[in-house]
Structure 1
């Protein structure tokens, strides 16, 4: 299926053509089915790259796009821990598609958390339409890229320029967009992907996360109405609104953790089914080699530490979201520190396990047939999203003198 045919299919589909899964089914057998379908072609697709139109339609049809939308708006009402568990489980087999799904929901959280005109009644409409029509959202909000500008026009704005690293934009139905204004302000809004003047380019060519559709989006005089704004220029976000960045950070944590878990799963399978003991080991099977067992135990502990700290960080985020507008800056800062701890450990687990597994599985495991290199490549590319050293700085500063991280798009 081509990208254009996938777009036509999405726009032509009627809500009545889809089944209506329950949350319990989607988190159980439904998710297992999606994961198995992605795993069946993951090695080939990772090698080929490009737009995974067929797999994105599988996700669309599964009901996963409505996972975090509240029941009141026609969604499944999944909690943030349930959502992040889905991301981690899918990342074990396909971190690129897990990334696309995760960033779809990140945009939906933004609709709920930001306080601009597109929230409230308009936000409820966007969420309801997403649930009913199974719309895919993409990201054109990258705050580090300031090339997109917005100029004031009666009742709205005109967007001109480009945004890079726009995960999930290709094949999407809605985009969350950020732009700088001529007065030096900063706005965030919602733009339908097929609005006149929007052009999504298929130019993502990194050596990992190859099917995240994270290329460039160009805006040629694109209209953005005031009622489509999620954040007004000069509007200061509340502590609750800044939780969006913490959701984003824990999404990355789950992606890295899923990659680490997936790498261990595949390496274990290889060792059991194909592994050969080293001649000096004195054993017949690779899994009986005491040095392999020792090294495996070390890798396993890297995952266990990341899992435990991540679970605590996710629970802190859940409690912060439950606080609503009563959330304080101090509470928000403690969520950020917990998230930083989890992200550092998951970062290390993903990169180190993806590399070190080959020292246990041996030279034959580097064959393209097995695609084991995809775990390291995907972790290495995605862990460059924002410098992990600044997470370590935030952790150390908080522990030394109690200073909480300043809320930014990355902290």
Structure 2
């Protein structure tokens, strides 16, 4: 973390500090290896941080989204793959609270806190191949899902499927359910340890009480906060990538022989570049803070939140996302203008910040966000709730 950051930055739980130090020490090597970061996932389990979003009364830490988002941002600065898994775990943990009943949410949160469950994702509503069928009293899942971040080594999954009438259904199920198979087929240039490959389902039985149907997907203004939370967590990862890339550049320059560091530190053009990248990172963090506080206020409104209030939150987050996506790409690329040609050595893997940003910012392109923002600016129109807005 940079020594010029403001005093308002998150003062983390003591468990976060040693975890971040460990992740940072192995991030470059693990970026080369790819695959499932089993050891690091277990460290996150042991830290107790998986229970941040769970109320104290249910065995959790009772953190708010301001605290959680800042923890995600700090983790992304050292390892955006693990930050993605950490962020989406919290999203999945609260999905039963958003889409399901109070009883479902309570039971699953208590289980998560008690067993230190790590949640994974098998939602991807743009992949329609997973189908839910009913045979008398038995529900079954058959098909496949792609981009299932965190499914490997998870304990629980949030799954989406289309039923026999092509209606979207969401369920929370144990990962080790018979017939469910996780494939080791994620080998992309960035976010290499998010295990965002595919999951197949063959006659996977589903209990009726595992379906989240009250109010179900986007069934109320509060339920429509879930896609806002998805987008907010992505902003936190982009902000972390931007800050992490800049911090790595600074550390690299300061680690050079004294004459080299002095030469770079006196070059007017390099100083100009460093100042430009700094202002981008600072702007992103300010927008993230503003968007997070807006979301937290909406979350606290619960079922009382109105469609208009939800829409205003969506615009705040879309604005932060548009700026943070571009900043993470720009900073991740331009840090080499500060460090010089030797910093491109493959052993350093300093290109991982740009590769991770380039991969992750394609989740849902910012052009869609800019269109929604423009519609709001000119027509006072809020985004129509969807799994991406």
TM-score, with length taken from structure 1: 0.89
Does residue 390 in structure 1 map to residue 368 in structure 2?
A: yes
Aligned residue runs from structure 1 range 209-220, under 5 A: 209-220=191-202
**1:335-354 to 2 correspondences below 5 Å:** 335-354=313-332
Q: Match for residue 270 of structure 2?
A: 292
Q: Does the Cα contact within 8 Å between 1:114 and 1:237 map onto a contact in 2?
A: yes
Q: Residue 196 of structure 1 aligns with which residue?
A: 178
The answer for the alignment partner of 1:12 in structure 2 is none
The answer to whether the aligner puts 1:230 opposite 2:215 as a matched pair is no
Task: Using the TM superposition, give the Cα deviation of residue 371 of structure 1 relative to its aligned residue in structure 2, in angstroms.
Answer: 1.6
Q: Which residue of 1 aligns with 2:108?
A: 126
Q: Distance in 1 between matches of 2:113 and 2:53?
A: 10
Q: CA–CA distance in 1 between the matches of 2:216 and 2:173? A: 20
Q: CA deviation at 1:27?
A: 2.3
Superposed, 1:260-339 pairs within 5 Å as 260-274=242-256, 284-339=262-317
Paired residues for 1:18-57 under 5 Å: 27-57=12-42
The reply to whether residue 404 of structure 1 matches residue 389 of structure 2 is: no
Q: For the residues of structure 1 that align with 2:239 and 2:126, how far apart are their CA atoms?
A: 25
Per the alignment, residue 62 of structure 1 pairs with 47
Q: Deviations over 1:133-170 (max 9, x none)?
A: 10111000111111100012333421000000001000
Would the aligned equivalents of 2:217 and 2:223 in 1 still touch at CA under 8 Å? no
Q: Distance in 2 between matches of 1:207 and 1:234?
A: 35
Check if 1:370 corresponds to 2:348: yes
- Aligned match of 2:335: 357
1:146–1:179 Cα contact (<8 Å) kept:
yes
User: Cα distance, 1:28 vs. partner?
Assistant: 3.4
SS at match of 1:395: helix
Deviations 1:368-398 (A, max 9, x none): 2322111000000000000100101111110
On the 8 A contact 1:26/1:63 being kept in 2, the answer is: no
Aligned length, in residue pairs: 380
Structure 2 stretches lacking a partner, 5+ long: 1-9
The TM-score normalised by the length of structure 2 is 0.94
Q: CA deviation at 1:290?
A: 1.0
Structural RMSD (CA): 1.8
Q: Is the 8 A contact 1:187 1:232 kept in 2?
A: no
275 and 355 in structure 1: CA distance in 2 versus 1, 3 angstrom threshold: farther
Check the 8 A contact 1:276/1:286 in 2, yes or no: no
Q: How does 1:89-168 map to 2 (within 5 A)?
A: 89-115=74-100, 119-168=101-150
